[in-house]
Structure 1
Amino acid sequence: MAEYNKPHRNFNEQIALMKSRGLGCEDDRAAVQALKRIGYYRLSAYSYPFRRFDPDRPGKRCDEFIAGATFEQVVELCDFDSKLRAQMLVAAEIVEVALRVQVAYFLGKRERFGHLDRVHLDEGECAGRRGTHEKDVHTDWIDRYERRASDSQNEDFIRHFREKYDGQLPIWVAVEILEFGQLVRLYGMLDKQDKRRISDHFGVKGHNVLHKWLIRLNNVRNHCAHHDRIWNRIAVYGIPAVHEQQVPAALTHLSRLGDDDRKRIYTAAALSAHIVTLSKPETNWPRSFKTVVSKLPLRDGVVTEAVMGFPTGWKSFDIWNYEPKR
């Protein structure tokens, strides 16, 4: 394996390197400012689709750029992705809060401290293992929950609660300190009847189906929160094949998507749109999302909606033409 020996380059040298590989640049000074804002390595991920395919390595790209590609087009794509992440984070907040409410309501109805005692959960799910982890799922969850509770002890509502009451936080308080991933894992451990009630609330037939959706949405949320590229990202795991009888009418078109497309951002956006409109009927999120995507800097064969998993004619689908309920 070769040793990494590429040299450090200043911003002007970075511009010169890209230009030597065929990337046009209208304004070197503005390009330097963009590199200072974004960084060469981060921006290179957005330049990748503009690179030529390597004739000696099928499916791989080389360092040289296609004819007509410019630095400005690469920055425009990077800035589009930033707006797309911001839009997805708006939806993630609504989805996460809606799930908090449902988990707190149904688990709290069963037992106010149900998250702490697996007798009120699904023992099979609690006793499961994650990879080669030594602890079972619930024990690991409790450890993470206690660390989270400790980190949150100076929150006003936590301090007030513990000054007034002794003991542990009931589930309707505890959900407010959980990260989305912890919340999704807790949903996976709920009693099957409680999971079914929550999946019914979200219009999904099958609690395991909803769980897979939530895992995927948490994955997207994390990418967005950490400013990762999402516009053409292919997830390691997508959602399972969608069956029309399991989902509301607005999502039946997902049944026509292939495995690869279900790992791309469109499917996550459609699932988000469904939960958002159900949870916040007055929302305009689907139309706002459509507006953001309409500003994708298209370039035939290079930057397309298809590489984001968008099906043909998607803008006409009911989910993206939702009328807010006032």
Structure 2
Amino acid sequence: MFEKLPFSIREQIERLQSRGLLIAPEDEAAHYLSHISYYRLGEYWYSMQSDKVNHIFKENSRFKDVIALYQFDGELKILLFDIIEKIEISLRTKLIYHLSHEYNPWWFQNFDLFTDSKALVKTLASLEGELERTKETTIKNHFKNHKDDLRFPPAWKSLEQTSFGSLSKLYGNLKNTVKSKDTIAKEYGVVNHTFLPSWLQSIAQIRNYCAHHSRIWNKNLPGNPKLLPNPPFNWVEDVPKQNEKLYVHLCIMKYLLDRIQLGNNFSNRLNALFVKYPNVDPNALGMKSNWYDENLWK
């Protein structure tokens, strides 16, 4: 039976100090703990502990470094959310354009185009809920003006309302015989449909972490994106061996973004974060210290 009782902020600080965490008056620990929960911050000081059973901190572990890690993680999520937005809008545009031309504006309701019917039912149910909740005038007017049409609004209306997760599932669920599936992959420099679905699924998962303010620093991510053996565009020579770390996902985002936004400043913005927070070890994200010298990131 779980019997732990809550601690006051003063008790939280005293407990951290008794375990070896250095907390100076200027660290404003009480202020931070009143706005960021002890449990949430614990995800950032966990790696600073030498004894993770008794929660004893390594020598010279400092509260201000915990806050720096937390702030770095927050700014990294803001950066990635911005990058993923561009990928999401691009994917949405390509799905709508290519599939609507290859088939018709209601291709996403055509079960003959998809491998997993049950998965499509779930995706369409999610889309239906989004359309029912939306306040967008274009959707409301469509239902008002086309009461006798029981189909969803056409792709260029419906899919503007759906999530990146649903878009990635639609793409991944398309049969490999659908020409647009390869066309979209080629336009992203991903050669064919074999690789892109796992890329999109991993990015969608990271987007969810960012949207729900979950930690992504030093996190083992689910999924196992398939990496191109011979990418047609700039990639990394030092290919990440740890697919569960964030770096491989950052590389995938940069590779896609280079096709979407020429001359983007993702590299500079990411590097600026490490300059701003020098106590953050890039290796915690699966990165080497010289990552910035790779052709992909130059």
**For the residues of structure 2 that align with 1:201 and 1:25, how far apart are their CA atoms?**
52
Structure 2 Cα separation of the partners of residues 311 and 277 of structure 1: 21
State the 4+ residue runs in structure 1 displaced beyond 6 angstroms: none
> Which residue pairs with 2:187 in the alignment?
201
Give the corresponding residue for 1:244.
229
Tell me which amino acid in the other structure corresponds to 2:73.
D
What displacement does 1:163 show? 3.5
| Secondary structure of 1:176 counterpart | coil
2:15 to 9, 17, 22: 17
- The alpha-carbon distance between structure 1 residues 86 and 161, as it changes in their structure 2 partners (threshold 3 A), is same
Task: Name the counterpart of 2:157.
Answer: 173
The aligned counterpart of 1:318 is 295
Structure 2, unpaired ranges of 5+: none
The sequence identity of aligned pairs, in percent, is: 25
- Paired position in structure 1 for 2:44: 46
Residue 30 of structure 2, aligned match among 29, 32, 41 = 32
The one-letter amino acid of 1:206's match is N
Q: State the match for 2:75 in structure 1.
A: 83
Aligned to 1:295: 276
1:301-322 CA-partner distances (Å, limit 9, x unpaired): xx5211211134211112222x
Superposed, 1:230-309 pairs within 5 Å as 230-240=216-226, 242-245=227-230, 247-253=231-237, 256-258=239-241, 261-298=242-279, 304-309=281-286
Partner of 1:185: 169
Cα distance in 2 for partners of 1:274, 1:29 equals: 39
Look up the SS of the partner of 2:160 in the other structure: helix
Distance in 1 of aligned mates of 2:77 and 2:14: 30
Paired positions, count: 292
Cα distance between partner residues in 1 of 2:210 and 2:4: 30
Residues 91 and 29 from structure 1, CA distance in 2 versus in 1: closer, same or farther, beyond 3 angstroms? closer
- Residue number among 203, 214, 218 corresponding to 1:217 in the alignment: 203
Q: Deviations over 1:275-306 (max 9, x none)?
A: 222112142222212212333443xxxx5211
* Residue number in structure 1 paired with 2:92: 100
Query: Does the 8 Å CA contact 1:216/1:239 hold for their aligned counterparts?
Result: yes
Which whole-Å CA distance do the structure 1 matches of 2:71 and 2:144 have between them?
Answer: 47
- The 3-state SS of whatever aligns with 1:6 is coil
Query: Where does structure 1 lack aligned partners over 5 or more consecutive residues?
Result: 55-59, 128-135, 322-326
| Contact 1:107 1:190 survives alignment (8 Å) | no
Whether 2:124 is the aligned partner of 1:126: answer: no
Q: 2-side partners of 1:200 and 1:315: how far apart?
A: 26
Match of 1:140 in 2: 122
Asked if structure 1 preserves the Cα contact closer than 8 Å seen for 2:267 and 2:292, the reply is: no
Name the CA distance, whole Å, in 1 between partners of 2:219 and 2:44: 11
SS at 1:283 equivalent: coil
Q: Alpha-carbon deviation of 1:196?
A: 0.5
CA-atom RMSD in angstroms = 1.8
1: distance between equivalents of 2:139 and 2:120?
23
Could you tell me the TM-score, scaled by structure 1's length? Answer: 0.84
For residues 9 and 248 of structure 2, the distance between their equivalents in structure 1, rounded to whole angstroms, comes to 38
Q: Helix, strand or coil: the match of 1:24?
A: coil
Does the 8 Å contact 1:77/1:297 carry over to 2?
Answer: no
Task: Give deviations 1:163-200, integer Å, cap 9, x for gaps.
Answer: 44453311111111111110111111224221101000
